[in-house]
Amino acid sequence: MCALFKIERRDDFSETVARLSEIVGADHVLTRIEDVVPYGFDATAALKTGAPCVVLPHTVEEVSAVMRFCREAKLPVVTRGSGTGLSGGSIPVPGGIVLCLVHLNKILEVDSENLTLLAECGAITKAIDEAAHPSGLFYPPDPGSMSISTIGGNVANNSGGLRGLKYGVTRDYVMGMEVVLPDGEITWLGSKCVKDVAGYSMKDLFVGSEGTLGIITKVLLKLVPRPKARRTLLATFDSMESAAASVSKIVAQHIVPCTLEFLDRKTCESVEAYAHVGLPTGVSAVVLMETDGHPAVVEEEAVQMAAIAEECGAVSVERAKDDAHAIRLATARRSAFSALARVRPTTILEDVTVPRNRLVDIVSFVEEVGKRHNLQVATFGHFGDGNVHPTILTDEKDEDEMSRVDEALSEIFDKTIELGGTVTGEHGVGLAKKPYLKRQFDKSSYALMRKIKRTLDPDGLLNPGKIFDLED
Amino acid sequence: MSESVQKFKPATNSKNRVLKHLSDLDYSVVQQCMHCGMCLPVCPTYLETRVERNSPRGRIALMRAAIDGEIEITREFGEEMYYCLGCLACMTACPAGVDYATLIEETRAEVEAQDVVFSPGRRFWRWLTLRQMFSRPWALHWVGRSLWLYQVSGLCSLVRKSGLLRLLPKGLRDLEPSTPIICRHFSDELIQELEAPTKKKYRVGMLTGCVQDLVFSDINRDTVDVLLENGCEVVTPHAQGCCGSLHSHNGDLEQAAIQARRIIDRFDLESLDAIITNAAGCGSHLKHFSPLLKNDPDYADKAHEWDRKVKDISEWLVEIDFRKPQNHPATTQKATYHEACHLVHGQKISAQPRAILAALPGYEWVELTRATHCCGSAGIYNITQPEQAGKLQQEKVGNIEKTGASIVATANPGCLLQIQNGAGKGLRVCHPVSLLAEAYRAEAAEA
């Protein structure tokens, strides 16, 4: 039937579809080629496969029943939210089903006494922060795709964002969750208690598990008081070293900015060409700094940060006078990805992370690797937490260039590990980083992961082949 | 855009159908989509169903699969391309600058070329509207005049009371109440071919549109008045006809090119500083004649010059620093602004109409929730997809009601009709340029 597009279907496919239709309703089981092709990818570049069947449940009971059926039929299950992942984690598995949870999207409770929020897994990240806002509360993790990413996907990938230095990442806000286990059991992990040491912290096992251990269906999140004021600064430097020096000095002065974002030379050039934000020519680094909190403290910190940047030889320092000015200053950073994405047809975005004090080393290494392999590479990212985004601008149809991309990436990962870093700071391993994970892990920790996977999911049905393979 | 522009060989699928339009498309345009998903939260059809194929990135994936020869152009494929409103909100949200407007137009042209969404009724209506009514100015005027007679003669209410409408197919019967009220006078009767201001600073051409001409000829008159007030000599060739926007958005690129040539020929381009349009849907198309006529040696250069000179009225007024009216209204009215998709997304014009509205004395402007979200009009979408269009209309009208405004301004005939039909007579729906024209008139009356 689908001779053109390669989709593996098992012999019992029609029976499978019938059984799944009984559970979620025939309208919510997609099998037509035009319906399933758009589920063959997520936001990762150059990764695409075929999903024979997409199932869209509306309740946790349906999720559980689907899982029970899949276990009985030995059918692999790939859980998916809005498909904005950047490591290929929700790419379908041959022969298996895609379980898309976007319809479980209710925000169930905002508890302003305990500062928590309970939501279904398909709730949109931005909607969660918006729901917290009227109570004067704040959900800080802000991954780039927050306007459409689902909270379940954020938890499963332990997503980061721009506020990592001061506010941490998704894991720091997960207090509890409801999980459907590979046998279909529905289980609750964690509680609303700030202190809770009853048993293993099992919720933490599922944070960042990328859909390989269970299906997260509800999440209990911690909220914090919404900061009352924010000040924004933009500093430009003629070298990455002087930018790094000022960042180190700011942190050494015990100022913890909520945002410390940088752009390298190549990114600055692209941003200027695309958005004409008025960056001085010949600038090698732009740093966007933001501090939030009590109005008086924020004001004082902004003055201090500007002074430090000037001391460290900033070419220019601009302090936002009002909200509109702040937005204008943030434009350069916000347009970074857009500007780069327009340069070439394929944009490969990486997220290697190193200890903060090694950031300059990795940025200059990336620049050098790009030159050596004759590739266009730009880097931007989060100065405060050492998480950088080397971005390779290429064309997936050009085989020769793509093989040079692979070599360059491999070198970048090796260097990252050598500097004591990690191959992924916020995107997850999925398929894209799987080959490099082994280099980072020692033998026994790698073996431990496999042991955990085999124990929880003995049939290997949940997102098989992601993060690592069960056998060498 | 790309350094390695690749053109794919015409893909042949299993039924040996050779792609006619998609095969000519620059492949890097499809490849530009990073499938990041940033288009999902702004896409009205995705928000309705939460199914990927109803989203821009889903449709682009289908287009790409078709170009790569992985899937066939099927009826399902064709219907999906027509489920899209063409509101272009995705183009504003897209971080990678994907030219979705071109993609959807070329794909619809392919769907038509493959004839996969065939039905005798559809074929007849397409022939009647695209190839007859909207391709000949006199035909449209004739239809407009007949409709006007039907409405003013009392025949309309007689027919409605008589139950004769029950003889019509359901689709048409449901549409009858939303038939626009036709103006007594069309633009050609209201506007001279050449009108001169007291002190001439510019010379501009005026596009009267087709639907605008029949239903909102008063807006055309207001536009000319505002231009005269701002030192523009206005050239308005009579019997202009449709610019081809309707054809282009509905997969008839061949006829769109014919319409484009016709309308270019009506203006002496070199003598004009700008060519003014006041209909967002038309403007969005009128600015892109170059790609349509790129292979026509006689028109390629003219099209380029044309694209450069076409301006939305608000864009032009802000560019020439329009005169701010100084009238003194006795009361203040609460008003809001709905951003027409093809103005804000199609032409990236948002600040200019707002600047005009802000300059008017006597209004308190309340921001509309989801002001840039489609109202469901979307060209002829409310005729072809009434159900989805109705949902968007209700949402829009609901949001307008929440502002407490008694006036809503919007710069596109489709939106004006859609909102007026949804809201009823209690709400005044009008073009920003009409409010400016009123203010100038009030000012003159005060003096």
A105 to chain B: closest CA residue: B50
Enter the pTM of the model.
Answer: 0.90
Distance from CA of A5 to the nearest CA of B (A): 5
CATH for A229-418, options being 3.40.462.40, 3.40.50.300, 1.10.472.10, 2.60.40.10: 3.40.462.40
- Between A and B, how many residue pairs show a Cβ–Cβ distance under 8 A? 105
Phi, psi values for residue B247, rounded to 5°: -70, -45
Q: Which tokens hold the place of A89?
A: 């984690």
Which residues of chain A have a CB within 8 Å of the CB of B56? none
Which residues of chain A have a CB within 8 Å of the CB of B25? none
B5 to chain A: closest CA residue: A345
Distance from CA of A275 to the nearest CA of B (A): 12
Radius of gyration for the alpha carbons in chain B, expressed in angstroms and rounded: 22
B50 to chain A: closest CA residue: A102
- Asked if B55's CB is within 8 angstroms of A38's CB, the reply is yes
- Asked if A3's CB is within 8 angstroms of B62's CB, the reply is no
d(Cα A356, Cα B233) in Å, to the nearest integer? 64
Phi, psi values for residue A300, rounded to 5°: -65, -45
A39 to chain B: closest CA residue: B52
Q: How many CA atoms lie within 13 A of A436 on its CB side?
A: 27
A148 to chain B: closest CA residue: B41
- Comparing A332-341, A411-420, B59-68, B289-298, the range with the smallest average pLDDT is A332-341
- Asked if A83's CB is within 8 angstroms of B31's CB, the reply is no
d(Cα A470, Cα A447) in Å, to the nearest integer? 9
Give the residue carrying structure tokens 């209710």.
A106
Q: Pick from B38, B50, B71: which is nearest to A147 by CB?
A: B38
CATH architecture, range A107-225: 2-Layer Sandwich (3.30)
Distance from CA of A115 to the nearest CA of B (A): 27
Q: Which residues of B touch A (CB under 8 A)?
A: 1-4, 6, 13-14, 27-28, 31-32, 34-38, 40-41, 50-53, 55, 57-59, 61-62, 65, 69-72, 74, 76-77, 80, 95-97
pLDDT for B16: 43
Please report, in tens digits, the pLDDT of each residue of chain B (447 residues total). Answer: 333 333 333 344 444 467 888 887 888 888 889 999 999 999 999 999 999 999 999 999 999 999 988 999 999 999 999 999 999 999 999 988 899 999 999 999 999 998 888 777 777 777 777 777 777 777 777 777 777 777 777 777 767 676 666 666 565 666 666 677 777 788 888 899 999 999 999 999 999 988 778 888 899 999 999 999 999 999 999 988 888 988 888 888 999 999 999 999 999 999 999 999 999 999 999 999 999 999 999 999 999 999 999 999 999 999 999 999 999 999 999 999 999 999 999 999 999 999 999 999 999 999 999 999 999 988 778 778 888 999 999 999 999 999 999 999 999 999 999 999 999 888 999 999 999 999 999 999 998
Distance from CA of A357 to the nearest CA of B (A): 31
Beta bridge partners of A117: A110, A221
pLDDT for B3: 33
Q: Pick from B1, B6, B52: which is nearest to A397 by CB?
A: B6
- Asked if A38's CB is within 8 angstroms of B61's CB, the reply is yes
- Sort B336 into a burial class: Cβ within 10 Å, 0-12 / 13-18 / 19+: buried
Distance from CA of A53 to the nearest CA of B (A): 13
Distance from CA of B326 to the nearest CA of A (A): 29
pLDDT for A43: 92
- Asked if A82's CB is within 8 angstroms of B38's CB, the reply is no
Report ipTM (2 d.p.): 0.93
- Asked if B37's CB is within 8 angstroms of A37's CB, the reply is no
- Asked if A38's CB is within 8 angstroms of B62's CB, the reply is yes
A157 C-beta neighbours (distance < 10 Å), count: 30
Distance from CA of A149 to the nearest CA of B (A): 9
Distance from CA of B351 to the nearest CA of A (A): 15
Question: pLDDT tens across A162-208, in order?
Answer: 888 899 999 999 999 999 999 999 999 999 999 999 999 999 999 99
Q: How many CA atoms lie within 13 A of A399 on its CB side?
A: 0
d(Cα B233, Cα B224) in Å, to the nearest integer? 9
- Asked if B40's CB is within 8 angstroms of A82's CB, the reply is yes
Which residues of chain A have a CB within 8 Å of the CB of B6? 395, 397
d(Cα B245, Cα B241) in Å, to the nearest integer? 11
Distance from CA of A145 to the nearest CA of B (A): 7
Distance from CA of A79 to the nearest CA of B (A): 15
Dihedral, A339, A344, A349, A350 alpha carbons, nearest 10: -120
pLDDT for B163: 67
pLDDT for B382: 79
Q: Pick from B52, B71, B77: which is nearest to A5 by CB?
A: B71
Question: pLDDT tens across B289-335, in order?
Answer: 999 999 999 999 999 999 999 999 999 999 999 999 999 999 999 99
* Coarse DSSP helix, strand, coil percentages of chain B, rounded to the nearest 5 percent: 55, 10, 35
d(Cα B289, Cα B286) in Å, to the nearest integer? 6
Distance from CA of A420 to the nearest CA of B (A): 30
pLDDT for B28: 82
- Asked if B28's CB is within 8 angstroms of A38's CB, the reply is no
Determine contact, residues A131/A151, Cβ cutoff 8 Å: no
Domain ranges for chain A, please list them: 13-100, 107-225, 229-418
CATH number of this structure's domain A13-100: 3.30.43.10
- Asked if B69's CB is within 8 angstroms of A347's CB, the reply is no
Question: pLDDT tens across A221-275, in order?
Answer: 999 999 999 999 999 999 888 998 898 889 889 999 999 999 998 898 888 888 7
State the alpha helices, DSSP H only, in B208-311. 211-215, 217-229, 245-249, 253-265, 280-286, 289-293, 300-309
- Asked if A34's CB is within 8 angstroms of B6's CB, the reply is no
B98 to chain A: closest CA residue: A342
B95 to chain A: closest CA residue: A338
Percentage of chain A surpassing pLDDT 90? 77
Identify the residue among A148, A401, A427 best suited for mutation to test binding to B, counting B beta carbons within 10 A and taking the highest.
A148
State the alpha helices, DSSP H only, in B295-403. 300-309, 313-319, 341-344, 351-358, 381-384, 386-403
Q: Pick from A5, A38, A84: which is nearest to B70 by CB?
A: A5
Which helix or strand (DSSP H or E) is residue A17 part of? helix A13-24
- Asked if A5's CB is within 8 angstroms of B36's CB, the reply is no
Q: Pick from A32, A102, A149: which is nearest to B50 by CB?
A: A102
Q: Print burial letters for A436-472: b (CB count within 10 Å at least 16), e (below 16).
A: bbeebbeeeeeeebeeebeebbeebbbbbbbbbeeee
Q: Which residues of A touch B (CB under 8 A)?
A: 3-5, 30, 32-35, 37-43, 45, 56, 82-84, 102-103, 124, 145, 147-149, 337-338, 341-342, 344-347, 395-398
pLDDT for B171: 59
Determine contact, residues B407/B335, Cβ cutoff 8 Å: yes
DSSP B379: T
Residue that wins the pLDDT comparison between A324 and A410: A410
Question: pLDDT tens across B55-75, in order?
Answer: 999 999 999 999 988 999 999
Distance from CA of A341 to the nearest CA of B (A): 5
Identify the residue among B9, B26, B52 best suited for mutation to test binding to A, counting A beta carbons within 10 A and taking the highest.
B52
Q: To the nearest whole number, what is the mean pLDDT of chain A?
A: 93
Identify the residue among A34, A78, A375, A402 best suited for mutation to test binding to B, counting B beta carbons within 10 A and taking the highest.
A34
